[in-house]
Amino acid sequence: MNDARPDKAHAVGINHVALEVGDIREALDFYGRFLSFTVEEVTDEMAIVYFGDQFINFIRNPDRRPDTMRHFGIAVDDKPLAPLLATIRNIKNCREAAALMGRQNDGYAFIFEISINQDPKAPQSYAVFLNAVGLGLPDRDYYLKDAFAAKKAAYQAYVQQMLDMIGWQDPADNAKAIVAFETRLAEASWTRAQLRDSDKTYHPVTMAELKALGSDFEWDAFLSASGLPKINRAIVTSDTAIPKYTSAFASTPLPVLRAWFAFRLTDRYAWLLSRRFADAQFAFMGKQLGGMTAPVARWRRAVAFTNDVLGQSVGRVYVARYFPPAAKTKIDAMVADIRKAMQSRIAQQKRFAQK
């Protein structure tokens, strides 16, 4: 029955379910192994357990008989993040934090982005690039200019909201500290005009020179976790930012860094989690920052995600189905003709230049 009449209440869940258990303490211990909850009241005979704004009631019944028919389910919406958040909570020092930043493909946040691209000064070879990043807002100006003060305040509220939704401790204080940390990064980061200068953003360094630039950062742990433990050269795109970045990182208390990792992880995957996470992210990132009026349709997000993680595999199937060998032969012939035409034009221009 599909009845969405406006004069009826909209059900959002089931509350106050009574669950018979043999032992109250054992039941709390069992569910506490894999679920986070709040115990409102507990005695030897009963317990009231809150899951968010809903609760169930454990009632002791030592004479209960096995029941294979009646059952209930508990919906969870941040389970995919649980092992990643556990890793973040277990960070013990700056070395481990630096190593976690090296695991960029696993979704963890980082202040230095590593990529491998064609060397612009030596196109015949590839090079490792190191970019100073780490900002949650689109640009450094959002942190530093009064014109964006309202957006910065809204961002702090969004950080607090996300931390609260994953049950992180002290969400308000940590949100404030996270924004302060990113503000220090923004102060050190280069402007967009500086980053457009292809000569200034080409700063090759040896590993010894890189470690001298940021002497208070665990580069070996970071690069090893990135899968590049033995590189001897990297191209730094904003060299003067490096020492200020590493200083900000080293001087930030470890609990704040953990909270920063947790927030950025949640923000990165919010669109893949339950509706409340996706809606919270859209309300700030999509609506307030992006000016969008409605979120991208779920099916479009699903297609984008599939293309992101399986693009090459799906592409092979597409090519096999719609790009037969005969089509490739025709394309190769067309490319060869274009090359010949271009060679002819280049030769003609050379002759004109000589005259």
Residue 352: the pLDDT is: 66
| Helices 241-251 + 171-188 axis angle, to 10 | 160
150 within 8 A of 161, measured Cβ to Cβ: no
Residue with the two structure tokens 């221009």: 349
- The CATH H-level (homologous superfamily) assignment of domain 82-292 is Neutral endopeptidase , domain2 (1.10.1380.10)
d(CA 244, CA 240): 8
Q: What is the pLDDT of residues 180-207, one digit of tens each?
A: 999 999 999 999 999 999 999 999 999 9
Residue 13: the pLDDT is: 67
Q: What is the pLDDT of residues 135-173, one digit of tens each?
A: 999 999 999 999 999 999 999 999 999 999 999 999 999
Residue 255: the pLDDT is: 98
Please provide residue 47's backbone torsions phi and psi, each rounded to the nearest 5 degrees. -150, 140
Please report which confidence band the pLDDT of residue 293 belongs to, taking 50, 70 and 90 as the band edges.
Answer: very high
The C-alpha R_g of the chain, in whole angstroms, comes to 28
Please report which confidence band the pLDDT of residue 6 belongs to, taking 50, 70 and 90 as the band edges.
Answer: low
Residue 254: the pLDDT is: 97
pTM for this entry: 0.75
Q: What is the mean pLDDT of the chain?
A: 90
Residue 240 has pLDDT above 90, yes or no: yes
Residue 40: the pLDDT is: 87
d(CA 326, CA 280): 50
d(CA 108, CA 85): 10
Give the SS3 label for residue 320: helix
Q: What is the pLDDT of residues 33-70, one digit of tens each?
A: 877 788 888 999 999 988 777 788 889 988 777 777 77
d(CA 298, CA 183): 33
Residue 353: the pLDDT is: 67
Residue with the two structure tokens 């009826």: 8
d(CA 335, CA 19): 71
What CATH architecture applies to the domain 17-75?
Roll (3.10)
Residue 109 has pLDDT above 90, yes or no: yes
